[in-house]
Structure 1
Amino acid sequence: MADTSARILRLLSLLDARVDWPGGELAERLGVSARTVRRDIDTLRELGYPVESVTGPGGGYRLGAVGKLPPLMLDDDQAIAIALALQTAPATVTGIDDAVARALTTLRQVMPARLRVASEGFEITALRNYWEFSAPPIDVATLQAVGSTIRTSSCLRFDYADPRRAGPCAG
């Protein structure tokens, strides 16, 4: 069962890495038969992942658009990377401290003990770097507004703040 779960996790990771995958190439990458790939695809669909079939020569599969958050499966390296990123996020983005702490706690609760120990080995203490002049953390609402503007190809208008004042420039 552990081999099957690991293979399905790897299949999901492969599907997420490229738009389309020929079925034969997936089978080769996973070291299984095309029939096993089809069964694993069915398992992913049962778990709520929208895996679409691609018709044409050779056929294949693609991961469709997700309407709701399906069960999240991560390999060991991805789980550690996310834990590390969550620890560093408050140093670069303000206003998300509580959400980050809750997400990190949730992630560590579902991690196997060996990964939890490994992720805790990466505990990070954010200290201000007084020798480099980096930008202050960005407010999460500002980051979301800029990201939305870029994504929708809209125009963003802003005023510069006077560094000698506490608030934005008047006018």
Structure 2
Amino acid sequence: MSGTLPGAVSGPREGDAFIRVVHSISRLCGVAAAGLLIAALLVTCHMIIVRSFLGQSTIWQTETVIYLTIGAICVGLPYVQMLRGHVNVDLIPLAMGPKLRLIWMVLILIVSIVVVAMIAWYSWEYLHQAWKRNWKSPTVWAPRIWFVWTAMPLGFGLLLLQLIADLWGQLRGYERPFWLEGK
């Protein structure tokens, strides 16, 4: 990784402490997500060995892989946003002038912030309910479910922080709208 993001304008971005801190947190989330996926892979290999070669049944492996993958997806959200790793259709922004493109980008970021904030809030409520009521998975293994659901408000909360940093970067001129060169 070269250290610069697509569409970054060189110069002042490096001097903005808020964006640097948020990007550091997002990178840490990317490392954590990769670690969770590696753990899921290892548990899957364990499950295959136990079932196929040892002829034993598995109780906890399938559910663990599912939970680790959910955790990796949620915790990896801010890292993917930081790298602009999502699908981007830029047909409309390409047809816009630079000022309209900035307005469109800011509008999209504000709507995204509102939606992600709502998801973070309601996932926090859901986590709190699971904790308070001591919900468990309805399986033989029956782990407490709040531990897994912690990934949702954490991931979406950190995605919210990354979106705010993106909005700040757009408003301060540290990045180009839609990471496209000006006309």
The TM-score with structure 2 as length reference comes to 0.25
Q: Pick the structure with greater CA Rg.
A: 1
Name the structure with the higher strand share.
1
Name the structure with the higher helix share.
2
The TM-score with structure 1 as length reference comes to 0.26
Question: Higher relative contact order at CA 8 Å, sep ≥6: structure 1 or structure 2?
Answer: 2
